Amino acid sequence: MIVAKDGSGDYKTVQEAVDQIPKNNEEQVKIYIKNGIYKEKLYIMQPYITLIGEDPEKTILTYDDSAHKIHEDGTEMGTFRSYSTFIGADHFIAENITFENSAGEGHKVGQALAIYIDGDRAIFKRCRFLGHQDTVFTGQKVGQEKKYNRQYFVDCTLVGDVDFIFGSSTAVFNKCQIISLDRKKNVNGYITAASTPKEQEYGYVFLDCTLTSDAAVDTVYLGRPWRPYGNVAFINCWMGSHIKTEGWHNWGKEENEGTARYYEYGTKGPGDNMEGRVQWSTKLEEEVAKKMTIEAILSGDDSWNPLS
């Protein structure tokens, strides 16, 4: 199926194309999206869907809902209804697409998700994720029945400021650009807010990524634990000077220091301050770091390998 705003394809909106796919779909369906800005609140509940854009900077899926916006039921929208794109099924793939929430800064509009991924075995290639607070949510909102979700991001760009990569999934970010926005504050933000379950071996793993920002030196944390056992690892990543020397924040709860699982190995760049990191984070041994491969992290019980 081909989506084109100008009417030259099969459908003018992505949602129209998605709605043609049965909910019990069992074969990978490809939807090609021509360049354009598609302002639509996209909702996908069918498995085995692939969205392929022409150009990641010109094929843009965007919306402007936010936590403080009033929903049609008269209540505030809240974090989890603020998404621009919702993925609620397994086996989703996206290539060459920008996922954006254009609502604005968090201190004005609250949380505003560019994408909400509640599906297993999702792959994102050469995609951009643009927002401010809570840009990318991977996993389930608190209180839902536990589900094991895995995602793989490669050659992607993720942009935001406060907790802009957050949730409970096991996710690998491979060779991605992680860009922290400048809020002009003493603390410009937190890259991650993992809520990894205690029994889950891996949370977020960043492999060979680049962390950059226009923010002042020593103003951005690598992360803070949204839930006590948050699990994040940065392996062989280049970090700019915006990364705070201590690296990690306990979310104002000293007890999180005894449970959160934060790791680094092979950090490069001006943000490499491993000796100054909080004592409750861990510098991985080389032998351990080498075992943290894409295949090992994401294999699960079904031996999934997004590289195959």
Rounded to whole angstroms, the Cα distance separating 30 from 288 reads 38
Q: What is the pLDDT of residue 140?
A: 74
pTM for this structure? 0.97
Domain that includes residue 225, residue range: 15-299
Residue 242 lies inside a defined structural domain of this protein: yes
Q: What is the pLDDT of residue 148?
A: 85
- Whether 6 is catalytic is no
Residue 3 lies inside a defined structural domain of this protein: no
Residue 2 lies inside a defined structural domain of this protein: no
Backbone φ and ψ of 295, nearest 5°: -65, -45
Rounded to whole angstroms, the Cα distance separating 10 from 31 reads 10
Q: What is the pLDDT of residue 146?
A: 67
Q: What is the pLDDT of residue 34?
A: 98
- Short-list 191, 179, 31, CA closest to 96: 31
Neighbours of 259 (CB within 10 A): 16
Residue 241 lies inside a defined structural domain of this protein: yes
Helix (H) or strand (E) holding 296: helix 294-298
Rounded to whole angstroms, the Cα distance separating 14 from 62 reads 11
Q: Which is the catalytic residue, given 65, 120, 161, 163?
A: 163
Helix (H) or strand (E) holding 157: strand 157-160
Contact 209, 240 (CB under 8 A): no
Residue 8 lies inside a defined structural domain of this protein: no
Q: What is the pLDDT of residue 10?
A: 98
303 contact partners, CB below 8 Å, separation of at least 6: none
Q: For the chain, first and last CA: distance in Å?
A: 25
- Whether 134 is catalytic is yes
Q: Count how many domains the chain has.
A: 1
Residue 7 lies inside a defined structural domain of this protein: no
Rounded to whole angstroms, the Cα distance separating 256 from 250 reads 6
Place of tokens 């096991």: 170
Indicate the SS3 state at residue 290: helix
Residue 143 lies inside a defined structural domain of this protein: yes
Q: What is the pLDDT of residue 80?
A: 95
DSSP letter for each residue of 205-257:
EEES-EEEESSPTT-EEEE--SSTT-EEEEES-EE-TTB-TT-B--TT-GGGG
Neighbours of 212 (CB within 10 A): 17
272 contact partners, CB below 8 Å, separation of at least 6: 239
Residue 10 lies inside a defined structural domain of this protein: no
Q: What is the pLDDT along the chain (308 residues), one digit of tens a residue?
A: 999 999 999 999 999 999 999 999 999 999 999 999 999 999 999 999 999 999 999 999 999 999 999 999 999 999 999 999 999 999 999 999 999 999 999 999 999 999 999 999 999 999 999 999 999 999 876 556 667 899 999 999 999 999 999 999 999 999 999 999 999 999 999 999 999 999 999 999 999 999 999 999 999 999 999 999 999 999 999 999 999 999 999 999 999 999 999 999 999 999 999 899 999 999 999 999 999 999 999 999 999 999 98
CATH number at residue 136: 2.160.20.10
Q: What is the pLDDT of residue 98?
A: 98
Q: Which is the catalytic residue, given 65, 134, 161, 218?
A: 134
